[in-house]
């Protein structure tokens, strides 16, 4: 069955992630060159925006590692049996062969579930990180409005000389709220795209492996 299946381009998933990462890096570099990113970071006195960017970097690197690992699993499924002993898919094939020899179809289903969990179970960490950046953005929004309200409550008697100071403090709080929200939303979208790619690739690999294993001509 493996011989009849169309083999994907070598490490296609990792190459797709690399293109996305390079594109994001170029956009980030352009934003820094134009001063947009620097303005966002400087105006955020809470440094929540910087923390979100660091979480984005860590989550993206983890997604890149998972893309590489999944690409190796795809390559291992089509490789010769002797050269892919550590492949999760090959382990599934061996379990299915052993179960077929005893006519244990229930064990085949369990083996498929174990393989699916190993291929995509760790992606939950990535989705958790994606949720964290959204929550950090919302936290920055709340902190920004708190700064705005505190600037108003600190003034006991408002006169003309205090208006400029009040407006500066309110602008600072609004800047924190808007910037952290923007950075959090953009970061969550970038991470979401990466982990959606991972989930889709893992599901496709599971489907291909189950299809190959249930074919009368088992892979050797």
* pLDDT tens digit sequence for 6-21: 666 778 899 999 999 9
What residue numbers bound the domain in which 51 lies? 12-213
Does some domain include residue 185? yes
Question: How many domains does the chain divide into?
Answer: 1
**Per-residue pLDDT averaged across 54-75, rounded?**
92
List, for residues 40-64, the tens digit of each pLDDT value: 888 888 999 999 999 999 999 999 9
Q: Report the pLDDT value the prediction gives residue 100, as an integer from 0 to 100.
A: 54
Higher pLDDT, 208 or 90: 208
pLDDT digits (tens, 9 = 90+) for 80-135: 554 444 677 777 767 666 655 544 554 556 777 777 788 888 888 999 999 999 99
Q: How does pLDDT run across 133-153, given as a tens digit for each residue?
A: 999 999 999 998 888 887 766
In a domain, 125, yes or no: yes
CA angle (21, 139, 23) in 5-degree steps:
10
* 9-22 residues labelled b (16+ CB within 10 A) or e (exposed): eebebbebbeebbe
Q: Is residue 120 part of a domain?
A: yes
Domain contains 79:
yes
Higher pLDDT residue, 218 or 32? Answer: 32
pLDDT given for residue 162 in this prediction: 66
**pLDDT tens string 143-198:** 988 888 877 666 666 666 667 777 777 888 888 889 999 999 999 999 999 999 99
Structural domain includes residue 219: no
Judge whether 178 lies within some domain: yes
Extract the tokens encoding 95.
Answer: 């379990």
Cα separation, 210 vs 123, in Å, equals 21
Asked whether the predicted pLDDT for residue 5 surpasses 80, the reply is no
CA distance 86 to 213: 17
pLDDT of residue 84: 44
Q: Does 3 reside within a domain?
A: no
Q: At 210, is the pLDDT very low, low, confident or very high (cuts 50, 70, 90)?
A: confident
The dihedral region occupied by 35, where left means phi > 0, alpha psi between -120 and 50, and beta the remainder, is: left
Q: What is the number of other CB atoms lying within 10 angstroms of the CB of residue 195?
A: 22
């Amino acid at each position: 069955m493996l011989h009849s299946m169309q083999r994907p381009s070598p490490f296609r998933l990792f190459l797709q992630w690399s293109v996305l990462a390079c594109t994001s890096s170029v956009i980030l570099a352009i934003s820094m060159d134009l001063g947009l990113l620097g303005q966002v970071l400087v105006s955020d006195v809470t440094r929540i925006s910087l923390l979100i960017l660091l979480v984005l970097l860590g989550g993206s690197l983890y997604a890149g590692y998972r893309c590489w690992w999944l690409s190796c699993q795809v390559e291992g499924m089509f490789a010769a049996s002797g050269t892919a002993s550590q492949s999760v898919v090959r382990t599934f094939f061996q379990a299915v062969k052993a179960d077929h020899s005893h006519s244990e179809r229930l064990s085949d289903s369990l083996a498929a579930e174990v393989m699916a969990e190993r291929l995509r179970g760790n992606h939950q960490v990535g989705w958790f990180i994606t949720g964290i950046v959204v929550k950090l953005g919302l936290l920055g929004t709340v902190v920004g409005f708190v700064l705005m309200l505190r600037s108003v409550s600190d003034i006991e008697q408002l006169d003309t000389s205090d208006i400029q100071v009040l407006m500066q403090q309110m602008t600072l709080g609004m800047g924190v709220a808007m910037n952290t929200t923007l950075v959090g939303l953009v970061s969550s979208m970038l991470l979401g795209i990466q982990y959606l790619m991972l989930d889709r690739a893992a599901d496709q690999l599971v489907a291909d492996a189950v299809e190959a294993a249930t074919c009368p001509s088992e892979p050797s």
